[in-house]
Structure 1
Amino acid sequence: MCSTSHMSTDCRFHSLCNKSWHQQPVATMRLFDGLVECFNTLLLHMKNRITSAATGSRSMSGLIKASQKTLFCYTSGRWLYDERRQLSRRYVKFNVEGLCRTASDIVGAPCTQVTKLPEGLYNKVFSLKTDTGEELLARIPNPNAGSAREVIASEVATLDFLRNVLGIPVPEVVAWSSPSVPNLVGTGYILMKRIIGHQLSDVWNDMSQAQRFGLVRSLVAIEAKLVKTEMPGYGSLYYRDDYPDGMSMDDVLSPAGSTANRFVLGPSTDRPFWVDGRGALDLDRGPWASASEYFSAIAKREMECIRTAAQNEPSLMDFGGKDTAREIHINLLNQFLAILPYILPSQYFCSPTLLHQDLHLENIFVDSADPTKISGIIDWQSTYSAPLFMQARFPSVFD
């Protein structure tokens, strides 16, 4: 576990100062403190940027070693509760030089710049630029994103399906690897092209009312395309090669034999099935053929988690302590299972639907010349097919 600030560096320098120079004049102490401040400023400058010839040179290796803490750690915020655990769940160590070489092999030019972009709660994203001006984005999931094997394989297949089958503007994946497959990066990753255009958050306040209405129509058109594409069941998308026993997608689009047959529906990547120690539990993660099976699996998942709560990682919802509290929760879930067949909505509202889970300003890109046109939607990680009435929500972008 590593710190996300430079406080530890400060402490080491000032400790040395107090032990070795405590007899020196005040002016000397101030000079030393000034040097410390300069050094910390240099570290801060290097925090999110590495610029060098990424060819394994000595200078590149030195920069990587100096900056690896901020590359591997979560550096976008702090926690008031259980910070050590929160940071460890977002810590990913990988081979930076291997990532650069992988990008260089794809582009055909040396990677000369690595920039850590603002990170979300579940991923680290890096901009990799070459000396020819080309750029790729590297996306590496954190441990709290779920099982990296399923998370990466499903996100890649989902982006491919959305882009090349449904014609929805999403990032183009150029390379990827599961963490279970040996690779130069030393972990699972996705390399993709950057979406062309402006992030909606950069232009929203400057858009006229007419432009905003135009954007709404563009977003509704994309959502409608997703809703009209009824999935064969409930779960997450994968390539058939990754999950040969997955639920067939052959009948999703016509004519039969379209490119949709490369995909199958496999285990759900919905995070409650994987996080907080749940990945080690024997749970039914799908895919499911009916809404009844889907909701039954969720209820049984929670029952199993309650029974094993003492062995799992702690959470704000602690089912530990009195056994009676656990029994009450389990009894309620059993009652839910008993009435489930009688409370499910009609088939239309239960139709298996694939929708984006987090449509906020930073996840939508618009055309530079016409902000009513959507040039791309990002962050499709852990997307899954679920009943329509569970998926439908007011996009947070319009809150």
Structure 2
Amino acid sequence: MSPPRPIAMLNSATRDSITNALASDVSEVRLIAKDELTTTYQLGLADGRQVLLRIPSFNENASIVEAEVATLRYLADRTSIPVPSVLAFHPGSDGEHSTTCYALLQKPSGTCVESVFPSMTPFEQNSIVAALARWMVELFTLRFEAIGSLRIHGSNDFRIGPVVMKPFYVDGRSKLSLDRGPFTSARGYYRACAQRELDSSRMLFVQDAPESYQQGLEESRLTVERITGFLCDLTDRCEGLDDDDPEMAPFSLDIHEIGLKNIFVSPENPTNILSVADWQYVNARPLWCCARLPPWLRPSMTATDGGSTRLAAIFKAEVVRVAGINSTFLRSLDLEDTRSTLDDLSTYDAFRDGFLLLPALENILATLPGHEDVAGLTALLDPSTLPGRVARINLLTRGSNAMYLAMTPPRSPLMTSLKEESTDKGMPSDSPVLVP
């Protein structure tokens, strides 16, 4: 017997709602994507159409689907970005005939750029990058009242609701009563990030554990508490937040994480962008967060052909053409200050990543202008410790390999066997040896 189709696993009220919204029976269901937070299916309809069904993995994640629907409708109504149409949205309901939250979305047509980008001509690649630059500059001019995600308000209006960011939802956090905003200040948001880590870790520490693990848990608890304290301290001392930089303090939609996998183009003409899909985790954030190069355009430690450097130059050139040489967006692109570091660190898991997060925060706090702690910094950079080696390497390299580079390399089996053999048999004093 074949397994039940996913849509058959939904209750009858939800199935009826989907069928009525599409005005057609569903003849085929195929799983497209699934993670801890949402699940996406491709529905084949009896009338030949294909659409996407997005549902939350748990009821607590319904806000993620709701925010994506609001973002898609906002972008379609008020920007030039080509996005899939929202065919239907149902927020879910309780009661005798309860229904599941779902969104029915237009399936993107065309070819995913990620699969063809390496084979595209430089002109075609430049065209994609320039389009992304124009969209980001366009959104940079929009303003919102707080940090958070879009929500539909009324029949044709929008408001800012709680943030929809993975650190607030993954690893079971969606079921916790965390402060998700919206936040009217950057400092309020980053303090909430610190509190998020503290509250999430407490869920782990209250669970029963064997006595042998108690000491380790206690050490982890103290580490998390130190990290959250340091995050709050860094938030208070960080320059450029809120009123410190009035020009960059307002909020706009941050889409700098858009990747090549989100962009679909015409197979016949790759410069013709048909759709930009997957807007699940877009939030309004301070302007200095919005004006950043997409990650795939930043310099890479492994790239040798200079492709990212060329494309980054194309991106900046398009910003100059559209917004001007003196634009705020352009000036913000090259900002690599404490604000950016704070924003990056606020996404880490204090319990799982504490062994890296703690020395990083100690390093930053010890070197903030006007707050230098020479003795503390010297201890932090102690090369005899793993955190010290990580900190030293981070000062000289960029990327995620600092931890690997700091590890003591394993001893060569060949050298070990030679040493053991020489110990057993003895060697003349003038014989060459390998020293491990």
Is the 2:38–2:61 contact (alpha carbons within 8 Å) kept by the matching residues of 1? no
Does residue 344 in structure 1 map to residue 239 in structure 2? yes
Residue matched to 2:280: 381
Cα distance in 1 between the residues matched to 2:237 and 2:214: 29
Is the 2:186–2:286 contact (alpha carbons within 8 Å) kept by the matching residues of 1? yes
Residue matched to 1:285: 180
Cα distance in 2 between the residues matched to 1:151 and 1:182: 22
* Amino acid corresponding to residue 198 of structure 1 in structure 2: T
Structure-2 change in CA distance of 1:108 and 1:323 (3 Å)? closer
Cα distance in 2 between the residues matched to 1:241 and 1:137: 25
State the shift of 1:217 in Å: 0.7
SS of the residue corresponding to residue 63 of structure 2 reads helix
Cα root mean square deviation, aligned: 3.5
* Amino acid corresponding to residue 198 of structure 2 in structure 1: M
State the shift of 1:124 in Å: 2.7
Residue matched to 2:78: 165
SS of the residue corresponding to residue 174 of structure 1 reads strand
Is the 1:303–1:333 contact (alpha carbons within 8 Å) kept by the matching residues of 2? yes
- Of structures 1 and 2, the larger Rg is shown by 2
SS of the residue corresponding to residue 269 of structure 2 reads coil
Residue matched to 2:3: 67
Structure-2 change in CA distance of 1:320 and 1:136 (3 Å)? farther
Does residue 240 in structure 1 map to residue 135 in structure 2? no
State the shift of 1:172 in Å: 0.8
Deviations for 1:364-394, whole angstroms, at most 9, x for unmatched residues?
Answer: 1113443223221111113222234445554
SS of the residue corresponding to residue 9 of structure 2 reads coil
State the shift of 1:159 in Å: 1.0
Residue matched to 1:111: 26
Normalising by structure 1, we get a TM-score of 0.63
Is the 1:104–1:130 contact (alpha carbons within 8 Å) kept by the matching residues of 2? no
Structure-2 change in CA distance of 1:120 and 1:356 (3 Å)? farther
Is the 1:319–1:325 contact (alpha carbons within 8 Å) kept by the matching residues of 2? no
Q: Note the 1:79-158 alignment, pairs <5 A.
A: 94-95=9-10, 101-119=16-34, 122-143=37-58, 147-158=60-71
* Amino acid corresponding to residue 32 of structure 2 in structure 1: L
Cα distance in 1 between the residues matched to 2:123 and 2:96: 49
Structure-2 change in CA distance of 1:290 and 1:180 (3 Å)? same
Cα distance in 1 between the residues matched to 2:93 and 2:192: 27
Which residue, 198, 205, 217 being the options, matches 1:303?
198
Q: How many residues align?
A: 291
Normalising by structure 2, we get a TM-score of 0.58
Deviations for 1:200-250, whole angstroms, at most 9, x for unmatched residues?
Answer: 1343233211111111111111111122223211011112259xxxxxxxx
Which residue, 146, 151, 163 being the options, matches 1:268?
163
Residue matched to 1:215: 128
Cα distance in 1 between the residues matched to 2:24 and 2:278: 27
Deviations for 1:262-304, whole angstroms, at most 9, x for unmatched residues?
Answer: 1111111112223334334333211111111111111122222
* Amino acid corresponding to residue 48 of structure 2 in structure 1: G
Is the 2:54–2:102 contact (alpha carbons within 8 Å) kept by the matching residues of 1? yes
Structure-2 change in CA distance of 1:209 and 1:120 (3 Å)? farther
State the shift of 1:109 in Å: 3.4
